[in-house]
Amino acid sequence: MNNSTNAKIKVLIADDSAIIRGILEKSLKVDTRFEVVALVSNARKAIDYVKTHPVDIVISDIDMPELNGIEALQILTGELNIPVAIFSEDRTQKENAIANGAALFEVKPPLSALSTGGLKPFIDKVYNKAKTLNAHKSHTVINTENVNFASFKVLCIGASTGGPTAVQVFLTGLGNNFPLPILYTQHLDVDADKKMAAWFDMSCPNLSVSLAKDGEVAKAGHVYLAPANVHLVIDYINSNGEPILKLSNEPAERFLRPAVNKLFRSAAEHYKNACLAVLMTGMGRDGAEGCKEIVDNGGYTIVEDKSTCAVFGMPAAAIELNAANEVLPRPKIAPRVLQLVRSK
């Protein structure tokens, strides 16, 4: 959620009753603090929606077909880090809902009360919970007025401690047919790179993952992992706008080879405002200066929020340099990237 005081709370409503969905939507639409982004009839549809669209809070019933509200809570709050306000007739489920992560539990009043404006206290609670819980999880850090979101030609990723697990979550969230080549530098021990590339290729079936090769043409929908003990950089861009990769034996930077900064700087140099980069969990400061160069050249950077980092070192350093366009918890990064690269 944007930290701007004028930013509206994005709400998804999940209820198998069309009448309840309609009443909630009407009450929220007349409140200028909210934007109703979707109405769905069950929790499965709610989960599918939030995976690819930004949502600040979900208002959900419990008793629904396919997937009940309690089961959905475990996914929405536990895995996707989305606050959920339960709105249910079954008051006996309150303790269970709160135990499973519900930010709020409200018993549905009679329909007569709903139709006469009786939702105002509940809506105020929803607003306060969404505002509080999202305040430090997802925010724009620097001005993005000059960013052309439809122009990205390459995606770069950098990570260190805790990186493989974090990046696996991110990559699987990109779905099928991702439209950009993906260049990825991970701090690795020597001899661990081949196993790491094979693990990613197996655990991310939506994308092809391999160790980068010198002189290789990077193709859309493919992930190129920097081999151990060499820097991965972009040598030049071919006539089709594709990056030609180079494996460099230049000295280690801050004792690191490969270094995220090397990759990010080369992408900033060659792609300017067509460069999109994601910096995830890791110890130290590698990648921060590279993020700064990307931003200074008109590109766009997203760094992982402290709430989901194994080590909040590299992302924190980028934030300190004012080099993060956005700071997002891990589950929200892939949906945001998809939104950026597919915007027109």
- How far is CA 147 from each of CA 128, 144, 152, 175, 295, rounded to the nearest angstrom? 31, 5, 10, 24, 9
CA 41 to chain CA mean position, Å: 25
- 53 flagged as catalytic: no
Name residue, tokens 């109703």. 36
Among 31, 193, 286, 305, the active-site one is 286
Could you tell me the pTM of the whole model? 0.63
Query: Which letter does DSSP use for residue 226 in this model?
Result: P
Give the pLDDT of residue 135.
Answer: 57
* Residue type, position 148, single letter: N
- 160 flagged as catalytic: yes
Q: In this predicted model, what pLDDT tens digit does every residue of 243-292 receive, in sequence order? A: 999 999 999 998 999 999 999 999 999 999 999 999 999 999 999 999 99
Query: Which letter does DSSP use for residue 305 in this model?
Result: -
Which parts of the chain sit beneath pLDDT 70? Answer: 1-6, 79, 115-117, 134-150, 343-344
Q: Are 282 and 311 in contact (CB under 8 A)?
A: yes
- How far is CA 311 from each of CA 177, 204, 288, rounded to the nearest angstrom? 31, 23, 14
Among 27, 41, 88, 160, the active-site one is 160
Helix, strand, or coil (residue 143): coil
∠ CA 168-173-178 to the nearest 5 degrees?
105
Q: In this predicted model, what pLDDT tens digit does every residue of 62-103 receive, in sequence order? A: 888 877 778 888 888 876 778 899 999 888 989 888 888 888
Q: How far apart are CA 182 and CA 84, in angstroms?
A: 33
278 has which bridge partners? 157, 302
Instruction: Give the pairing type, strands 231-237 and 222-225.
Output: unpaired
Q: Which distant-in-sequence residues (6+ apart) come within 8 Å of 209 by Cβ?
A: 171, 197, 200, 201, 222, 223, 225
Dig out the tokens for 239 from the structure: 């006539």
Name residue, tokens 């021990």. 189
87 has which bridge partners? 106
Give the pLDDT of residue 300.
Answer: 95
Give the pLDDT of residue 154.
Answer: 97
- 222 flagged as catalytic: no
Among 187, 231, 270, 305, the active-site one is 187
Give the pLDDT of residue 118.
Answer: 74
Give the pLDDT of residue 138.
Answer: 46
Q: How far apart are CA 83 and CA 104, in angstroms?
A: 9
**Cβ-count burial of 158 within 10 angstroms (0-12 exposed, 13-18 middle, 19+ buried)?**
buried
Q: Are 331 and 79 in contact (CB under 8 A)?
A: yes
- How far is CA 268 from each of CA 58, 66, 118, 173, 292, rounded to the nearest angstrom? 37, 46, 54, 25, 9
